[in-house]
Amino acid sequence: METIVLRAHFDGEQILLDDPIELQPNTRLLVTVIPEPDAEQIAWLTLSVEGLSAAYGESEPDYPLTAIKEPNPTYEIGAISNIRHERLLENLSHYLIRDI
């Protein structure tokens, strides 16, 4: 099995995975406890979410490849996709949602 990241939370008694996944008995896990963000971190994360939402929001048009005047030879097609931006926004929003 490849290494994957799973969201989980502690309910006061045990660690619970947020999403279902099939694991074999004795599967090795690494648990990282994430500290609660302080006010400054929340402010920076909020600013990041707002900036990314403005830059990649619903009102931002999709530009066709024909609009490129001079292609970047080192750019990998699909390296930065809307899916990655949506995941980033989702992760930041999930992190902030309980504090705002």
Least confident window among 13-17, 45-49, 80-84 = 80-84
- Calculate mean pLDDT across residues 3-13: 92
3 within some domain: no
Structure tokens at 30: 């690494």
Domain of 17, in residue numbers: 8-96
Distance CA 74, CA 54 (A): 27
Structure tokens at 34: 């994430």
Distance of CA 76 to the CA centre of its chain: 21
60 within some domain: yes
Task: Give the model confidence (pLDDT) of 83-100 as tens digits.
Answer: 555 666 666 666 555 544
14 within some domain: yes
2 within some domain: no
Q: Which of 59, 62, 66, 55 is nearest to 89 (CA)?
A: 55
1 within some domain: no
Percent of the chain exceeding pLDDT 70 equals 75
- Calculate mean pLDDT across residues 29-51: 90
Give yes or no for residue 48 having a pLDDT over 80.
yes
If one counts every other C-beta atom within 10 angstroms of the C-beta of residue 49, the result is: 19
Domain count, the chain: 1
